[in-house]
Amino acid sequence: MNNPSSASRPVRMVIFGRQGAGKGTQCVRLVEHFGVVHISTGDMLRGAVAAGTEMGKAAKAVMDVGDLVSDEIILGIVRERLAEGDCRTRGFVLDGFPRTIAQAEGLVMILGEDELHAVVDLDVPLDEVTARMKARGRDDDTDEGIARRLELYEKETRPVLDWFADRDLLVTVDGLGSETDITDRLLSAIATAVAR
């Protein structure tokens, strides 16, 4: 019973949260529990940068200053990834996408009749995520980069949360506490959403 989705249907979900909210850690646990594919647009872009592809070169400059890569590029890579067989059979958790209303609308188009089962906001306060990002020291975690990304999250991504809330899909989960407590909260919120 470790993987309820294999016994029933593939689960399709989105996890939101400010950078530094612990989405990456929790996604590992969601993958273990639901057997879904973890799709992080940030990881895919960093992979393209490391591989030195044309897209990676274009994305790097944008990522370095904490801006958003164009909707067109992002929707292209997500569309390709979601069309792969593992996403269709195992379901997925989208992490770091959609970040704009245009991306949310694009996602709905890509999914067609395959509806999302759960959209979760892993909620961690601004001062806490700022402190965590300063401590982790990733390449793009300069003070300006952190401030810019958090500002963009409020400006561009908050409306996306409202967009999902208007469609009755959004569940907010308290992202403070121990990793296991947060996982338990997430699993119960998602189980409720999937059962609807």
Instruction: Give the residues lining the site for ligand AMP (CB under 6 A).
Output: 19, 41-42, 45, 62-63, 66-69, 74, 96-97, 99, 103, 149
Q: How far is residue 62's CA from residue 105's CA, in Å, rounded to a whole number?
A: 22
Residue 182: which residues within 8 A CB-CB, separation 6 or more?
A: 22, 26, 122, 173, 174, 175, 176
- Give the shortest CB-2-to-ligand AMP separation in angstroms: 27
Half-sphere exposure of 94 (CA within 13 A, CB side): 25
**With respect to ligand AMP, which residue has the nearer C-beta, 12 or 99?**
99
| Residue placing its CB nearer to ligand AMP in the complex, 66 or 91 | 66
Q: Which is nearer to ligand AMP, 4 or 56 (CB)?
A: 56
CA 146 to chain centre: 17
Residue nearest to ligand AMP (CB): 42
Is the Cβ of residue 35 or residue 106 nearer to ligand AMP in the bound state?
106
- Least distance in Å: CB of 103 to ligand AMP? 6
**Structure-token match 């067989």, residue found:** 85
Cβ-based neighbours of 61, under 8 Å, separated by 6 or more: none
Q: Which is nearer to ligand AMP, 90 or 149 (CB)?
A: 149
Shortest distance, position 45 Cβ to ligand AMP, whole Å: 5
Nearest approach, Cβ of residue 41 and ligand AMP (Å): 3
Q: Name 102's Cβ contacts closer than 8 Å, sequence gap at least 6.
A: 71, 75
Q: How far is the CB of 180 from ligand AMP (least distance, A)?
A: 23
* Residue 4 CB coordination number (10 Å): 14
